[in-house]
Amino acid sequence: MGFEKFGKVTFAPYSKVSAFVDKLKAGTLEGTKCKKCGTLYFPPKSDCPLCMASDMDWVPVPSQGKLLTHITVHAAPTGFEKDAPYTIGVIEFEGGGKLMAWVEGIPEVELKLGMEMKVIPKPLPEDRIMYVLNRA
Q: Terminus-to-terminus CA distance in the chain, angstroms?
A: 29
* Ramachandran sector of residue 96 (left: φ over 0; alpha: ψ -120 to 50; beta: rest): left
Cis peptide before 107 (omega within 30 of 0): no
For the chain, list the domains and their CATH numbers.
Answer: 1-61 (no CATH), 62-136 (2.40.50)
pLDDT in tens, the chain (136 residues): 565 666 655 555 556 778 888 899 998 999 899 999 999 888 889 999 999 999 999 999 889 999 999 999 999 988 888 999 999 999 998 877 789 999 999 999 999 999 999 999 999 888 888 999 999 9
Q: How far apart are CA 47 and CA 44, in angstroms?
A: 9
* Nearest residue to 46 via CA among 2, 13, 12, 15: 15
